[in-house]
Structure formats: C-alpha cells, structure tokens
C-alpha cells in the first residue's frame, strides 16, 4: 500500500474514533422526531351546560414532558402525567364550533400537534334551571323560550313575584310558536311555600299547549314548572328530544 496509503488509513481510523467518542459524549445522534398525538372531547356534541373533558393520547421514544390544551387558541390546561387531560365548562353563550388543539412536548424539546372540533349546541339559554333554587326569572308581561331536552326527565323552573290578589295567566305554547315542536307541555305553579297551587294541561291550542288562570292568594315568589306531559304522566318515562321547544308567558288578565 506504501507509506502514503498507511498514513491515510491511520488518519481515517483516527477520524472514526474521534467521531464515535463525540457521539458517545453527546448521547448519540440528535433526536428530531416529534411525539405522536391525538385528542378527543367528551361529551361531543355538548347539548346541555356542563363540563367537557379533553383527553390526549401521546407517545414518544424519549418520553412525554407535557401536553398543552387550547380552545380556539387560548390555553385551557397543561398536564404532564398520563392520562393527559384538561377540562372546561361551557354554557349557552359558548354555542358554536370550538377548535381544540394540543401541543405535546417530549423530553428532547420536540413538539407534536393534534386537533379536533368540539360542537357546543345548547338549545336552552336558561339551563341549568332544573330546580326551585335554580329557577330562571320570569317577569309579569314577559316571555321566555326553552327546550325540554338534554336529560331524560328534564323539568324547567321559572320564578316570578306576585302580589296578593293578582289575576294572572300562565301559558306554555309549543306548536303555535314553532311548527316543528314535538312538545306536549305540562305546567304547574308552586306556591311561595313550595306547594302546588294549580296544574293544567291541554287547555288551549290544538291539544298541545297549556294554560293556567289563577289569582295569587298571597304575596311572594311563585315558581312555574314546565315539563313534558309524558314525563308528568309516567314516572319512568323519558322525553328529551331536541325539538321539545316551547315559549312560556306570564300576563295579567
């Protein structure tokens, strides 16, 4: 091979040895592979006010350092422990599509991303008004629109103030204000002490609407309860169609 060949061979071996030593001291070749990631939202769609849980699936050879969750670009949570999750509460005001994205950071600083869409479609602006304590306000001369949905045995509560002797009329309309409504409404009025004073169904309209005429016996805060006739009539029945729309109105007579 000759002197020059031996010299080149020795230099080549030295270069390989130095390269190996350098790679060993630096922990091997640089890791530029981003983590794999996916994200889900539950429940989705959201049809009643409540909390949505976002869960990320993330993995990486070097390990996952943290997962960041975003709703329409706004950070809503960070989690560094599996299962990687974040939560957020939504109301009627949040209706619409929400772009849910995550950024997964591995232990080498690489970032993986994933996205999904959360649909918030809460039909009833007054929910949750499912108890006397959570009753939505209803003024004399006012109206409110609602939906008997989102849970199997939904009951909507509205409260109003009346003076002793007030002559009032409470109506709950369905098909006359929404031709697509499937609700046969049932309504009752609770006295300020929580006792039922009057209840009536199918008093007006085409057999699918309710009306109560009453005189307030005492001054105080009364509660009107609206539900489906099926729910009222059968203790085991459920009726949660999203088309169970209604309009409640309180007027003087």
| DSSP string for the chain | -HHHHHHHHHHHHHHHHHHHHHHHHTTSS---PPPEEEEEEESSSB-SSEEEEEEEEEE-TT-EEEEEEEETTEEEEEE-SSSEEEEEEE-GGG-EEEEEEEEEEETTS-EEEEEEEEEE----TT-S--SSTTPEE--TT-EEEEES-SSTT--EEEEEEE-TT-EEEEEEESTTT-TT----EEEEEE-TTS-EEEEE-S-BTTTTBEEEEEE-SSSEEEEEEEEEHHHHH-TT-----TT-EEEEEEEE-
Look at residue 150 in the predicted model and tell me its pLDDT. 81
Q: Please check whether the two domains, 36-120 and 136-252, share a CATH topology.
A: no
Question: Could you give the angle at the alpha carbon of 94 between the alpha carbons of 91 and 99, nearest 5°?
Answer: 130
pLDDT of residue 128: 87
Q: What class has domain 36-120? A: mainly beta
* pLDDT given at position 203: 54
Q: Where exactly are the structural domains of the chain?
A: 36-120, 136-252
Using an 8 Å Cβ cutoff, are 162 and 140 in contact? Answer: yes
pLDDT on residue 167: 97
Dist CA 116 CA 45 (whole Å) = 12
Per-residue pLDDT of the chain (253 residues; tens, 9 = 90+): 555 545 444 444 444 344 444 444 445 557 899 999 999 999 999 988 899 999 999 999 999 999 999 999 999 999 999 999 999 999 999 999 999 999 999 999 999 999 999 999 888 888 889 999 999 999 999 999 999 988 899 999 999 999 999 999 999 999 999 999 999 999 999 999 877 877 777 654 456 689 999 999 999 999 999 999 999 989 999 999 989 999 999 999 9
pLDDT for 199 equals: 76
Dig out the tokens for 138 from the structure: 């209803």
Handedness of CA 70, 74, 76, 81 (dihedral sign): positive
Q: What is the pLDDT of residue 18?
A: 41
CB atoms near residue 75 (< 10 Å): 11
The rounded distance, in Å, linking the Cα atoms of 159 and 148 is: 17
Judging by DSSP bridges, how do beta strands 156-162 and 136-137 pair with one another? parallel
Contact predicate 233/195, CB 8 Å: no
Give domain 136-252's CATH number out of 1.20.1330.10, 2.60.120.380, 3.40.50.960, 3.40.640.10. Answer: 2.60.120.380
């Amino acid at each position: 091979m000759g002197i020059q060949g031996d010299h080149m061979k020795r230099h080549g071996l030295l270069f390989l040895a130095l390269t190996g030593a350098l790679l060993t001291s630096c922990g091997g070749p640089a890791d530029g592979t981003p983590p794999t990631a996916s994200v889900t939202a539950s429940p989705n769609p959201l049809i009643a006010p409540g909390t949505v849980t976002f869960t990320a699936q993330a993995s990486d050879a070097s390990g996952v350092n943290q997962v960041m969750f975003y709703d329409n670009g706004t950070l809503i949570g960070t989690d560094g422990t599996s299962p990687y999750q974040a939560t957020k509460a939504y109301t009627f005001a949040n209706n619409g599509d929400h772009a849910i994205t995550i950024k997964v950071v591995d232990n080498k600083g690489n970032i993986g991303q994933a996205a999904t869409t959360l649909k918030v479609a809460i039909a009833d602006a007054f929910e949750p008004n499912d108890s006397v304590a959570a009753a939505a306000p209803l003024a004399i001369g006012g109206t409110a629109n609602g939906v008997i949905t989102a849970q199997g045995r939904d009951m909507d509560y509205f409260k109003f103030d009346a003076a002793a002797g007030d002559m009032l009329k409470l109506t709950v309309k369905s098909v006359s204000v929404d031709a697509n409504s499937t609700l046969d409404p049932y309504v009752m009025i609770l006295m300020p002490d929580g006792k039922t004073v009057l209840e009536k169904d199918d008093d007006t309209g085409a057999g699918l609407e309710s009306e109560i005429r009453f005189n307030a016996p005492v001054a105080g805060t009364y509660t009107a309860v609206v539900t489906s006739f099926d729910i009222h009539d059968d203790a085991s029945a459920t009726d949660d169609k999203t088309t169970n729309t209604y309009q409640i109105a309180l007027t003087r007579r």
